Amino acid sequence: MAVKIRLSRGGAKKRPYYYVVVAHATSPRDGRYIEQIGTFDPMLKKDDPNRAKFLEDRVKHWISVGAQPTDRVLRLLDAQGLAKRTPSNNPNKAKPKKKAQERAAAAEEKAKAAAEAAAAPADAT
């Protein structure tokens, strides 16, 4: 069965606090887990050493036996130096989709036609 290292939410409303847990991939986010291996408090400043805490030996153990960290947990582990995350780059993500490209082309065509119409009477005089 697939095992994930992921965040389980705790804390109060509008005051999130996360536990870094090892759980089966099919279990609910805040449901049953195998082991708690750390904490993450997003309310603290990014440079605060208490923002993310891990039990390093347990993290290394679970990664060695095949547990897959989620992207957010992998980012936290990479910041602590416990795992290596390769940054991904998707240059096509920022490009407009098909309908937006069609609208932009139509607007460009309309602007070009308006410019030609404005230039035509000026040339005729």
Measured between alpha carbons, how far is 18 from 14 in angstroms, rounded to an integer? 13
Percentage of residues in the chain having pLDDT higher than 70? 96
> What residue type is assigned to position 63 of the chain?
I
- How much is the CA Rg of the chain, to the nearest whole Å? 26
* Residue count of the chain: 125
pLDDT in tens, 36-82: 999 999 999 999 999 999 999 999 999 999 999 999 999 999 999 98
pLDDT in tens, 69-113: 999 999 999 999 988 988 888 888 888 889 999 999 999 999 999
> 20 has which bridge partners?
7, 38
Q: Spell out a b/e string for 59-88, using b for 16 or more CB atoms within 10 Å of the CB, else e.
A: beebbeeebebeeebbebbeeeebbeeeee
